[in-house]
A and B are shown apart, each in its own frame.
Chain A
Amino acid sequence: MRAFEVFAAKDSNHAVALLAQHTGVKVKVLAGGTDLLADLKFSPHSPDVIVDISRAQDLKDITLSEDGLSIGTLVTHSQIMRSPIIREMFPALVDAAHSIGAVQTRNLGTLGGNLVTGVPSMDSGPTLIALDAQVTIAGPSGRHQVPLHEFFLGPRKTILKHDELLAEIVIPKQNLGKPADFLKFGLRKGQALSLVNVAACFWVDWERNTFVAPAIALGAVAPKIIRTPQAEAYLEGREITLEAMVEAGHIASTEARPITDFRASAEYRRHLVAILSRRALEHAYTLAKAKRPGEIKK
């Protein structure tokens, strides 16, 4: 690695101040380091300064508040897998975290770090986007929130400016406990990049047995993670049947814009979208039934 200077941030305000102090030079933020260090070793564009936020205590919490569930940017994938709140409310986020890298990288790698890479196949994104997650961005003029869906601009591109920090991820209150499922298809089980990943979630109107506020998010099939407005509109208010889920999967596959590369063809990815969307909807329904209030579990 080429030489650089490291400045350690005590907390998020200190990190933002450090970023503001180094505007004329190339700066990178270090959270878990699993992506950054791999890049630094092989990239010709190494930074002059690294702002190490890995010890910023205020970015490490998982908390329930009036706004919803807040996950600090530095929460690691392993911590998501072990969090009692997340395991209870969003097993899909646990599955997504588990599908990332391997034990060693999950112990270092952070949720925020995964998101800021902007890689279209990232596994932490789809579930959060299906759940309408917001991200809090900290910068020199304070903090503001944007939908995670709008945070991404394209492959490896986000709206984050050089003096800004992704501080937290918030799942809004109205979606707490919303039955969701995440599925990933890779070429093997361990350390695989997703050919396609899918998250689906919906509430159930138990009187009518219909879909309420359905959402499907797809990864690795467009320049950024996408939602599927047509499939969602098709499902909204419709009776929950396997046929409806199959059809929604087909519609979602027409909304995907996959490319052919050395991992898979566009046709194959489209096929995967149809199958995985249907399965994710089925799993979310199974979860909804298990969570149904007042339901006597047999």
Chain B
Amino acid sequence: MMNVTLKVNGETRTASVPAETTLLKLLRESFNLTGAKLGCDVGDCGACTVIVDGLPVNSCLMLVNQADGREVLTIEGLASTDRLHPLQKVFEDFGSLQCGFCGPGIIMSAKALLDDNPSPTVPEIRDALGGNLCRCTGYAKMIEAILSAAGARETADKSA
């Protein structure tokens, strides 16, 4: 067994788990954060995407030892009880998701993109979502939503 301590959504969490545990399994089974999903389990589908030290990664491809001591942001860290995160709001407004399984991963990828590049072009958005598979929507409404969130952010910055 291995003891790990990491910051998850701003809170310090610890766990004692077998060394072969992935970050995804740790989040879902030890911390009950089931937003990140187990999809392909080999890093192709992006359903498990979380942000580690500011970068989006496949949590299914990270062993707990790699995540030890680091800062992890999951979909559960975005909304407060009374308010959705702006990206979640635009995804709702645009009807960007259907079944929703890919949603947490897509939104975390979009958040990482906008944190790094506040006004992305459509090709940049497509590139940022290249590691997230969605089999329902065809992506068009997600891209519209992300563009809208970026626009809103720009407007907010200007008025600030």
Contact = CB atoms under 8 A, between A and B. Distances in A.
Interface string B1-34: 0100000000000000011101000000000000
Interface string A1-23: 11111101000000000000000
A191 B66 contact: no
A108 B58 contact: yes
A52 B43 contact: no
Given A41-B42, A103-B131, A105-B131, A78 B20 contact: no
Nearest to B54: A107
Contacts of A34: 43, 58, 61
Given A3-B18, A3-B19, A107 B56 contact: yes
A189 B57 CA distance: 20
Given A4-B19, A52-B66, A191-B130, A105 B56 contact: no
B61 A33 contact: yes
A189 B2 CA distance: 40
A5 B19 contact: yes
Interface in B68-105: none
A33 B62 contact: yes
- Most B CB contacts (10 A, CB to CB) among A40, A54, A105 go to A105
A30 to B, nearest CB: 7
Nearest to B42: A38
Contact of B60 (A2, A37, A52, A101): A37
A49 B61 CA distance: 17
A2 B18 CA distance: 10
A5 B131 CA distance: 30
Contacts of A3: 18-20
A52 B42 CA distance: 19
Interface in A35-93: 37-38, 40-42, 50, 52, 54, 78
Contacts of B58: 34, 104-105, 108
A37 B61 CA distance: 6
A213 interface: no
B112 interface: yes
A33 B63 contact: yes
A191 B131 contact: yes
A102 interface: yes
A190 interface: yes
Nearest to A107: B55
B65 A37 contact: no
B119 interface: no
Interface in A79-134: 101-105, 107-108
Given A104-B131, A105-B43, A54 B20 contact: no
B109 A103 contact: yes
Interface of A: 1-6, 8, 30, 33-34, 37-38, 40-42, 50, 52, 54, 78, 101-105, 107-108, 189-191
Interface of B: 2, 18-20, 22, 41-44, 46, 49, 55-58, 60-63, 65-66, 109, 112, 127-128, 130-132
For the complex of A and B, the 5 pairs showing the least CB-CB separation, nearest first, are: A102-B131, A190-B130, A38-B42, A6-B19, A107-B55
Given A34-B43, A41-B42, A104-B58, 18 more contacts: A3-B19, A4-B19, A4-B20, A30-B66, A37-B61, A37-B63, A38-B42, A54-B66, A101-B43, A102-B46, A102-B131, A103-B112, A104-B43, A105-B61, A107-B55, A107-B56, A108-B58, A190-B131
